[in-house]
Amino acid sequence: MYIFARDMFLPPLSFKEELPKIIINQTGKIIFANKEFEKLSGYCKQDIEYQFSWQVFFQSEDIVKIQNFLTSPKKTYFEHKINFIDRNANLRQMHLSICPLDKNWVISFIDIESVEKVSIENQVYKVAFDILKIALAITDKHWRIKWANSVFQHFIKLSPDELINTNILGLLFNKKNKKECENINITLTQGQKWQGFIPLDSQDEKGHKKTLNAYLIASPINLEHNNESFYVFVISDKSSELELQQRLEKMASLGSFAAEISHDFNNLLSPILAYSEILLKKVPQNTFVYEKLKIINETAFWAKDLIGQILALSRFKEATPVPLRLDHATKKIFEFLRRFISQKIKMKLEINSKGFVKADPLQIYQILLNLCINAAEAMGNEGEITIKIEDVEIRQEDFKKNSELKPGKYVKVSVIDTGPGIDRNIPHRIFEPYFTTKKGGIGLGLTVAHRIVKELGGQIGCQNILGKGANFYFFLPRIDNKK
């Protein structure tokens, strides 16, 4: 037999255990008693059915509580700890549960020790389902909900009292997906499992209507020993996963397109680089023509590097880490970055490092470009950005403060802006893919920077001074320049 309760549902194994139960009619007469109840009460079936009222087995204080429930206009289910009185007037602590059965009532009993054991098991089930955000509901053979977990209540936006005895098919399906509803009805009635995607009407935290891409698994539970049937509905919201999959497919298409365009530009740049280098050797230095040719050559060189970055982003070109003096590389990158940042923003470079790191110059460019653009957008294209480079050493006593960094020598790079700072509620999500607070943003810039720093064996983070600005920084392991 089963017990349904507001916050408790006996796990599937308990369905196989026959619990003491009686069925009472509207007058309070016991019209059915099973063998387990015979053992519990000490009476035989013939002495109980249509002979005793349910009150015979309860103390007066328990009778009052049960009677109040049975006469309540909003009666759905009831649970209570009671003292059961058997034939020899012995008292036994039991957990009682009352559920409707057509116009009658089913009263089930379970000893307190079993309830406590089941309660622990239920907590494990509840936590597991809540962590996984899986909605679970159980109905009788007439599709009436007898139990639902908190995740199901959150999806449907109904309270436990509103859910109990509500037809689940009416909640999950509407006119638009009438066909799926009919298929589930037929499949489960035939004793088979149904699974597939369904659109599920729900609401967001502000009460606005939204449709979830939900994956539903529905399965029958048949209890052969007493011919009772139940249906289990398991629902998981796949909206985020499907959205992410669509975005990844778009990114893959864009990556392929970017790779094709980049190869074409590379072919166009090759003669510009070649002929500009030839002309630089033939034109006298310190002349107007020489300076202009030098600008053409340097710009074409940076354009070629930019194409390399695009190819690296699209996974068609692998990065090649080499021993790199970070201050020298950053000076070159700094001049190029100024072309991407608004002229209204003042940019400063502070160098207090001569350390080497092992990285591809394009990787450093990629990190700084994303951090600087992020800072510029945060300031509204007006303010000051400072790029600061310094040699630091993480000591054993500092290890706890930088748990992802092992004690050793590092080069620290900071990108400091004078913007409004970071909302205190989002720093833990700042590097998540597709997380963005910008209108129209795609939320990949900081994710890319985070991925590259991790690949280089470093650590990236941010410090916030609300109203005064933000400091995004990263550490890269310092290496011996002889390497």
How does pLDDT run across 276-331, given as a tens digit for each residue? Answer: 888 888 888 888 888 888 888 888 877 777 676 666 555 545 667 889 888 888 88
Alpha-carbon distance 419 to 380, whole Å? Answer: 8
Q: Is residue 7 part of a domain?
A: no
Residue 24 has pLDDT above 90, yes or no: yes
* Residues 298 and 336 grouped into a single domain: no
Of 441 and 376, the structure prediction assigns the larger pLDDT to 376
What are the tokens at 461?
Answer: 């983070």
Which pLDDT band holds residue 2 (cuts at 50, 70, 90)?
A: very low
The mean pLDDT of 85-92, rounded to a whole number, is 91
Residue-range definition of the domain harbouring residue 85 = 12-113
Number of helices (H) and strands (E), helices first, in the chain?
13, 17
* Residues 354 and 447 grouped into a single domain: yes
357 with 389: CB under 8 angstroms?
no
Query: Would you state the pLDDT for residue 383?
Result: 87
Number of domains in the chain: 4
Residue 416 has pLDDT above 50, yes or no: yes
* Residues 373 and 469 grouped into a single domain: yes
Query: Would you state the pLDDT for residue 476?
Result: 92
- The DSSP bridge pattern shows strands 104-111 and 91-101 to be antiparallel
* Residues 345 and 471 grouped into a single domain: yes
* Residues 330 and 478 grouped into a single domain: yes
Coil, helix or strand at residue 186: helix
pLDDT in tens, 452-471: 888 898 988 888 766 678 88
User: What percentage of the chain exceeds 90 in pLDDT?
Assistant: 14
Query: Would you state the pLDDT for residue 1?
Result: 34
* Residues 407 and 365 grouped into a single domain: yes
The mean pLDDT of 181-210, rounded to a whole number, is 81
* Residues 344 and 465 grouped into a single domain: yes
Query: Would you state the pLDDT for residue 189?
Result: 87
Of 227, 210, 222, 195, the closest CA to residue 155 belongs to: 210
Residue 439 has pLDDT above 60, yes or no: no
Mean pLDDT rounded to a whole number for the chain: 78
The mean pLDDT of 2-23, rounded to a whole number, is 51
Residue 68 has pLDDT above 70, yes or no: yes
